[in-house]
Amino acid sequence: MIELLVALVVLVLANVGERYRPVWYVVAVLLAATNLLLMAAGGFALLAQVIFSRVEAPPPPFFAPRVGAVLLVTGAVAFLPLLIPTVRRALAEVLPLHPQRPVHTLAVVYAVYFVGITLAQYAADVSAQLFSMGVQVTLAVLWVQGGFFVALSLAGVGFPVRRSFGEALRRLGLAGLNGRQVGAVLVTVAGLEAFDYLVNLAWFAWDPASFERISALNERLFAGLVTPAGALSLGITAGVGEELLFRGAVQPRFGLVLTSAIFALAHTQYAVSPALLEVFAIGLVLGVVRERVNTTAAVGVHALYNIVNVLLWPLWPGS
């Protein structure tokens, strides 16, 4: 959670830098230092291969060459939008970004960090490491992480530096729902549950070994949440936190498809499996709901989907 706290502080400073340019220069130096740190970590992971080969011992997963290569590339790529105006202008041609705004520059650099570090986790097969360590998600972790996501969303859109609380909520796309919109939320949840069941059924029939491996991981990871209180907590924290962050704050800047891809990558517990494609598809649906209704509706869909999914887990294929 320390990295989320640091990201939050830097977001606030970048918003201050929108008005006071010297503060942005401080943020830029911090980002440059982070880039160098990532490159150094990547180089160390690559160098570690030589060390472990001499002692004829297998290196730890996070020192695998592919992990080092991903971190090295991530640090190098993050320098491009930070230091080269032409890169930012090129991005502004295809995305609703302003090439000179500090917050938009930070958003791109953060996106590079997120994608790169997440890919490094996939390269290290972090899902297998979690399984072997017997890690379990607790209610406390859910609520703390959800709270950080809400804070990051608010800070990202300028609260309390550039926008009031009400203005931040409007920028995030939060508004009331009428009866027809509530009905649309319920129909969408039912459709996504049916889609999830069919995907799991097809996956179980096509590749039962992969299905059972990922299912076993998630059963262990979320074992403590298969209760009404756990289902409600997972629904609220993911529904509110993730939707405010991805659909509320990020999607207006990175668009529907790119945001959905980043959203899917965030679900590292599914490793490289058909589940990632399913999450990408669900992200697209949530993004369309945000565009056609508002973020409140997307929160409702995501929260109810998670709650129902946890409660129906014993009825799903392979259970």
Q: Which of 208, 211, 207, 228 is nearest to 219 (CA)?
A: 211
Cα separation, 39 vs 163, whole angstroms:
35
Residue pLDDT tens, the chain, 319 long: 788 899 999 999 999 999 999 999 999 999 999 999 999 999 988 887 767 666 666 666 677 788 999 999 999 999 999 999 999 999 999 999 999 999 999 999 999 999 999 999 998 887 777 667 767 888 999 999 999 999 999 999 999 999 999 999 999 999 999 999 999 999 999 999 999 999 999 999 999 998 988 888 888 888 888 888 999 999 999 999 999 999 999 999 999 999 999 999 999 888 888 999 999 999 999 999 999 999 999 999 999 999 999 888 777 765 5
Cβ atoms of 240 and 151 within 8 Å: the answer is no
CB 149 within 8 A of CB 6: no
Q: Is-contact 261 170, C-beta < 8 A? A: no
Q: CA angle 218-270-143, nearest 5°? A: 60
Where does residue 14 rank: exposed (0-12), middle (13-18), buried (19+ CB within 10 A)? Answer: buried
> In this structure, what token pair is assigned to residue 282?
């669900």
Q: Identify whether 274 is preceded by a cis peptide bond (ω within 30 of 0).
A: no
> In three state form, how does the secondary structure of 136-177 look?
CCCHHHHHHHHHHHHHHHHHHCCCCCCCCHHHHHHHCCCCCC
**Which among 303, 282, 281, 299 has a CA at the least distance from the CA of 290?**
299
What gap in Å lies between CA 15 and CA 158, rounded to an integer?
6
What are the structural domain ranges in the chain?
2-124, 156-315
Category of 20 on φ-ψ map: left (φ > 0), alpha (ψ -120 to 50) or beta: beta
